[in-house]
Amino acid sequence: MSRKTLTVPTNAALPHIQRLPADSPDVAKTLSRLSRQSLLELVLEWLDKKNRAFCKPYLMRASDEDEDEESPYTPAASEEEIVEAYKELKGRKGGKREVADRIVEGDWRHGITMYQLAMAETRYLLDHPNSLRWNALQLSKVTGSGGSSAEDNIEVIDESTATSLPRFNATTFVLNLQKEVAPVTKAHYYITRVKAFGISLLRVHIHDSPYNQPLPGAASTASEGSKSVFLVFPDDSPYVYVSLATNLGQTVGMEGRSLRKVVVDVSYLIIYICNTLIHG
């Protein structure tokens, strides 16, 4: 007697290996923004041994021989074979379309993982550092004068104690952020170190939220605009920077605005708690 599978709701973050269809608008949009050179370097990063577990390509299997006959690309037998193919593309001139087509119709025809999409968006941000505007949040020790007048009630940041304040830890921050965001939306979290800039970079990508569904009869706007928010944690700094919007004409749709509001509100809450602990 076969057992029935029981599925229960979970507040866990979306796993790195969850795949989006290769023809997903999010995938097409992200890949189309990258240059040929960046696409080729990105694929080689996907196939690096440290990332390979989250970026597995489509490989030849005996059971798929008939299915693969209609594909314009013959599946490779190993990751190393794919690496050599993209190195060959990197060594000659051509358009980025042939690279993007090979990715979505060939080597990753079975879908792009959330981890791969995060790496692609991060690659674009590093290629175009001025593509986003940022809001700075500071962990600071606030002192009050204790007076009764309006001017006396103004909070003053004590800059002299800045060097003794605790610094942000990106991993700890994202664990707290995930706990607060989980009840209202499904999101994917990606953290990477950018040694050249001395920063830790966090990308939060909204995937599904019950609060962003269109009203009956209304046109859906869920796929419009950016669904990601970036947070930057500079080394040895009491600041965290939250992305606002792009300067390159990219719209920020309802999901993007809702996600940013949740992330920023929770970020303020986390910083407020930290400041309270410092003052206490």
* pLDDT, tens digit (0-9, with 9 covering 90-100), for 164-214: 545 666 777 788 888 877 777 788 999 999 998 899 999 988 876 554 444
Structure tokens at 5: 């599978």
Over residues 22-48, mean pLDDT: 95
- Count how many Cα atoms sit within 13 Å of the Cα of residue 223 in the half-sphere of its side chain: 9
Contact between residue 255 and residue 222 where contact means Cβ atoms under 8 Å apart:
yes
Instruction: Point out the least confidently predicted range of 15-29, 39-53, 65-79.
Output: 65-79
Q: How far apart are CA 175 and CA 167, in angstroms?
A: 16
pLDDT for the residue 146:
45
pLDDT tier for residue 84 given thresholds of 50, 70 and 90: very high
Cβ atoms of 103 and 31 within 8 Å: the answer is yes
With b for 16 or more beta-carbon neighbours within 10 A and e for fewer, the 236-265 pattern comes to ebbebbbbebbeeeeebbbbbebbbebbbe
Chain position carrying tokens 């980025």: 96
The per-residue b/e assignment along 110-120, b for 16 or more CB within 10 angstroms, e otherwise, is: ebbbbbbbbbb
d(CA 162, CA 79): 49
Rounded to whole angstroms, the Cα distance separating 165 from 158 reads 11
Task: Give the model's pLDDT for residue 138.
Answer: 76
Q: Which two tokens stand for residue 6?
A: 């029981």
Amino acid sitting at position 5: T
**Would you report the helix, strand and coil content of the chain in percent, each value rounded to 5?**
40, 20, 40
| Sheet containing 228-234, strands listed edge to edge, beginning at the edge strand earlier in sequence | 132-138, 239-246, 228-234, 199-208, 186-194
In the DSSP assignment, the letter for residue 163 is G
Strand partners, 137: 240
Question: Which pLDDT score is estimated for 174?
Answer: 81
pLDDT at 245: 61
* Whole-prediction pTM: 0.77
Task: Compute how many other C-beta atoms are within 10 angstroms of the C-beta atom of residue 98.
Answer: 12
CB 233 within 8 A of CB 168: yes
Distance CA(161)–CA(5), nearest Å, equals: 56
